Amino acid sequence: MYKIVKKQQLNDAVVLLEIEAEFIAKKVLPGQFIIFRIDEQGERIPLTVADYDREKGTITLIVQTVGRSTKMLGAMEAGEYIQDVVGPLGIPTHLEGLKNVCVIGGGVGCAIAYPQAKALHNAGAHVDMIAGFRSKDIVIIEDEMRAVSDNLYVMTDDGTYGEQGFVTVKLKELLDAGNKYDAVIAIGPIPMMKFVSATTKPYGVKTIVSLNPIMIDGTGMCGGCRVSVGGQVKFACVDGPDFDGHEVDFDELMRRNSTNKEQEAHDCENCRLRGAHNA
């Protein structure tokens, strides 16, 4: 059992949870994820680790409460316990040797991009960070992102905060201004990662994306998280979650994820009718 030691609501649909998980906190590196189960009957949900404190033995998860299990997790309070937290899983992001990097977060994906920016900043790299949100009221972890970047550009779709436009508008501006990045790291909605990769391709800038397809066992056995990368089948849980954005078949990934979302909505509706959970 894993105790929630802190809970903070970041916006209406995003919650931060700090969880006691000593073994994971000791080993986890940026880019890695855990799989949690709320209780014995719970489904297995992967979440990338947003931060960790090796001394305290805690990990931080930032959760968008969209599906049944994430809504149940978001409704839990400090002092309560989660049944299982397994990890760290996946291959850490390859940050070695990167000196000049543009880190891009889209919405709640900023929580996953943040540890990469922090690790790069702590290693002495120059970090430009672009954080995109739909509007001002859902901006999260701005101070934290600012603290680990040389330049933070906040973009909003509706222009209510920062500059107006998608993250790709600022990225193109920075590339056109002559910034020579060793890599662009992009984490957020799939369309964002697709268009970031399309933006960097003509400039020949290495682009790393973090994929979050549906996962079941997290061990490469079930095939649930398969993605096509460079024409080959890869499993995000063991071969990723990071991949070369110029090689990922994003359209296939979007098709698979939307089928899963329809199934989840159907399952949720059935549970609501049975009063099985509080989604």
**Interface with ligand FES (CB under 6 A):** 215-218, 220-225, 235, 237
Report if residue 245 touches ligand NAD, rule: CB under 6 A: no
Residue of 26, 27, 134, 136 interacting with ligand NAD (CB under 6 A): 134
CA 18/CA 135 separation, integer angstroms: 26
Taking the complex as a whole, the smallest distance from the CB of residue 110 to ligand NAD amounts, in Å, to 8
Residue 30 contact partner, candidates ligand NAD, ligand FES, none, CB within 5 to 8 A by sort of partner = none
Residue 207 DSSP SS3: strand
Report if residue 159 touches ligand NAD, rule: CB under 6 A: no
Judge contact between 64 and 108, C-beta under 8 A. Answer: yes
Smaller CB separation from ligand NAD, 32 or 212: 212
Report if residue 106 touches ligand NAD, rule: CB under 6 A: yes
**Cis amide bond preceding 92, omega within 30:** no
Token duo for residue 48: 């990338």
Smaller CB separation from ligand NAD, 65 or 168: 168
Chain length of the chain: 279
**DSSP letter, residue 49:** -
Report if residue 192 touches ligand NAD, rule: CB under 6 A: yes
Q: List the Cα angle 194/196/201 in 5-degree steps.
A: 95
Taking the complex as a whole, the smallest distance from the CB of residue 195 to ligand NAD amounts, in Å, to 4
Residue 217 contact partner, candidates ligand NAD, ligand FES, none, CB within 5 to 8 A by sort of partner = ligand FES
Taking the complex as a whole, the smallest distance from the CB of residue 137 to ligand NAD amounts, in Å, to 12
Residue 215 contact partner, candidates ligand FES, ligand NAD, none, CB within 5 to 8 A by sort of partner = ligand FES
Taking the complex as a whole, the smallest distance from the CB of residue 243 to ligand NAD amounts, in Å, to 10
Reference 94, options 46, 48, 30; nearest CA is 30
Judge contact between 183 and 97, C-beta under 8 A. Answer: no
CA 213/CA 158 separation, integer angstroms: 28
Smaller CB separation from ligand FES, 159 or 223: 223
Report if residue 108 touches ligand NAD, rule: CB under 6 A: yes
- The DSSP string of 85-113 is EEEEESPPP--TT--EEEEEEEGGGHHHH
Report if residue 60 touches ligand NAD, rule: CB under 6 A: no
Rg over alpha carbons for the chain, rounded to the nearest Å, is 18
Residue 243 contact partner, candidates ligand NAD, ligand FES, none, CB within 5 to 8 A by sort of partner = none
CA 71/CA 216 separation, integer angstroms: 18
